[in-house]
Structure 1
Amino acid sequence: MKKTYYLFNPGRMSRKDNTLSFTPVDENNREGQTRYIPIETVDNIYCFGSLDANSALYNFLGKNHVSVHFFDYYEHYTGSFMSKDYLLAGKMQIEQTRYYSSDKKRLVVARKFVEGAAFNMLKNLTYYTNRGRGLSEHIDRIVNYQSLIAGTTRIDELMGIEGNIRQAYYAGFDLIINDFEMGSRTKQPPNNEINTLISFGNMLCYTACLSQIYHTQLNPTISFLHEPGYRRYSLALDIAEIFKPILIDRIIFTVLNKRQLKASDFRKELNACVMKESARKTFVQAFEEKLKETFKHRKLSRNVSYKHLIKLECYKLQKHLLGMEEYKPFKMLW
């Protein structure tokens, strides 16, 4: 079974027969022990340190459909190497483009993403309200904004409602999380521990969605809620809206409230808050465990992992675009 590999240390990677060879290098240019990874076991590679590689390696990765995702020093996602789109189909491309080009059809799909995201955010707040966290005011605000989704007539109007929903949602984090304060949402750069975890986690969710889109016939550059941009896989942003409350926010609540991460796992630099390597490893491990976690799918009547659930979401969107079945976003019931 293929898996994701995370490279936290800078180093050199090359091809050795049908194996990847990675040699970590410290700040004094001293080499560590080389690790060999059979290419058939690799699905994705996440690079959090500088990677020294040549075009021969990327040709090898491309032929084996291995994606590489890059992050900078401040854990910001900077880009991905994706191999040639090998599953794209002409009919799917045409229909996806047609839906984007039609304001009416695009808005229908975009509303679905916001509806699914709002439902899953409310589910998180309701869970903690039932445990005495006093989030009723935040829930009421989101419900009020939620009622406006169906009446939107423009994408920018819908994006404004989505922004208000998320602002009301994040305002409740201080009542959910112990020992840390979030305040307002800050991104570039995040100014405290919670904002740092949100930014880091959202990028992991985005790349997970991108990887699953890549294994379908959907074109990741043609989106509906977010505006497609130059060299931007914006469809992954659309789908990630549904899964961020499920995959990322619940992990944040767990690792902080169970004190798996403490204030000492972060470092303040100027006006930015940065995760130490130990914190990144802890969060990534929790994320990987969440993706592998399974539950009984109510429609399929079988257990599926959260990772596979993202691909199922892509399949549902495909069916909608092909006129086979109305798209309904995933809504968690627990």
Structure 2
Amino acid sequence: MKKTYYLFNPGHLERKDNTLKFTPVEEDGNGLPQEGQARYLPVENISDLYVFGSLTAKSSLYNFLGQNDIAVHFFDYYENYTGSFMPKDSLLSGRMLLAQTAHYQDKKQRVVIARKFIEGAAFNMVKNLKYYDKRGRDMEPLVDTIEGYASSIPAVTGVDELMGLEGNIRQVYYDAFELIINDFTMGNRTKQPPNNEVNALISFGNMMCYSQCLRAIHQTQLNPTISYLHTPGERRYSLALDVAEIFKPILVDRVIFKVLNKKEIQKKHFDTKLNRCLLNEQGKKIFVKAFEERLTETIKHRTLNRDVSYKQLMKLECYKLSKHLLGMEEYKPFKMWW
């Protein structure tokens, strides 16, 4: 299986025969740039590159990456996702594009799909809370509240109303973080910028999940700019936001609980400046390692009757949505059953 590589340091990326050569660049004691030891990455083993530091590369390098189906995702200094280089769409389908557009323009069909995303997200949030309820955390009142909200999803007829319901569900869910996480407090959810450690982890993890979903969409015939829960907008792949709703509780939140409660990430792994809290480089590496481990975990798929990784589940989710759009099979969101 191909791997994802993470480039935390600034540096140069270039082609070297049939490999990628990455040369990190750091400042010396006088503040002057100094090249470090180069790393060589075999292209046949790479699926994606995540770039967290400044990167210099020639256009010929991106031609090479495109030919080898390697995507590059960029994040700025503040850990915000800024964009992706995606290989040429080899699976473009006019039929699928028309079907996606028709389901978006038809308000009834759009809200049917949007409901499914919230339904799957709420179910997986509740699964997380029940997991910790069995381990001595009193989650029952919060579970009852979320299930009460979720029971009203089928009656919602507008996307705006559905987004409001999703906000209520997520607020109750985030209240549970105070009971799950041992040594940190979350307080209110803050995004731009995150104001404490837990919010910093949620923002960073959500961006990781979003880019993983974007890559999964790109490997199908779906167009990532046409979405159903989130409103399509300029310069964003809003369908990835839709799909990520289902997987954030499974991937991001469970990783956050693990790295904090096992003290893998501690106070020293954050930088706090001007009411902004961000993971430092060491903290990012720890979180990314735990996130990758989660992505490669496998479960026994009940329909396929074989082991499937969480990363593959994202792609399967896109296939299920494709079948719904083409009128082949009703879309049912992924729900944890264990």
Aligned partner of 1:291: which letter? L
Q: Which moved more, 1:270-279 or 1:107-116?
A: 270-279
Residue 144 (structure 1) aligns with = 148
Q: d(CA) in 2 for partners of 1:221 and 1:63?
A: 23
**Does 2:98 match 1:94?**
yes
2:270 partner amino acid: F
- Displacement of 1:83 after TM fit? 2.1
- 1:203 partner letter: M
The match for 2:293 among 285, 289, 293 is 289
Please provide the CA RMSD for this pair: 1.0
2:83 alignment counterpart: 79
Partner of 1:253: 257
State the AA in 1 paired with 2:9: N
Residue number in structure 2 paired with 1:265? 269
Identify the residue that residue 114 of structure 2 maps to in structure 1.
110
- The equivalent of 1:120 in structure 2 is 124
Structure 2, unpaired ranges of 5+: none
Letter of the aligned partner of 2:245 in structure 1?
E
**What code does the residue aligned with 1:266 have?**
F
Residue 46 (structure 2) pairs with residue 23 (structure 1): no
* Superposition deviation, residue 275 in structure 1: 0.7
Cross-structure match for 2:323 = 319
The aligned residue for residue 213 of structure 2 is 209
CA–CA separation in structure 2 for the residues paired with 1:235 and 1:260:
32
- Structure 2 distance, partners of 1:228, 1:65, is 26
Aligned amino acid, residue 23 of structure 1: T
Q: What secondary structure, in the 3-state scheme, does the structure 2 residue paired with 1:70 have?
A: strand
Cα distance, 1:63 vs structure 2: 2.1
Structure 2 counterparts to residues 191-210 of structure 1, below 5 A: 191-210=195-214
5 Å matches for 1:172-187?
172-187=176-191
Q: Give the aligned length.
A: 334
Helix, strand or coil at the partner of 1:68: strand
Unpaired stretches in structure 1, ≥5 consecutive residues: none
Aligned to 2:13: 13
AA at the equivalent of 1:236: A
Q: Secondary structure at the match of 1:180?
A: coil
Q: Name the structure 2 match of 1:63.
A: 67
The 1-side partners of 2:293 and 2:82 are apart by: 24
Structure 1 runs (4+) deviating above 4 angstroms are none
Which of 227, 232, 236 pairs up with 1:223? Answer: 227
3-state secondary structure, aligned to 1:268: strand
Q: Residue 4 of structure 2 corresponds to which residue in structure 1? A: 4
Query: What letter is aligned with 2:37?
Result: Q
Give the SS at the match of 1:331.
coil
Q: CA deviation at 1:311?
A: 0.6
Write the distance in 1 (CA, Å) between the matches of 2:278 and 2:134.
33
CA distance in 1, matches of 2:244, 2:184: 25
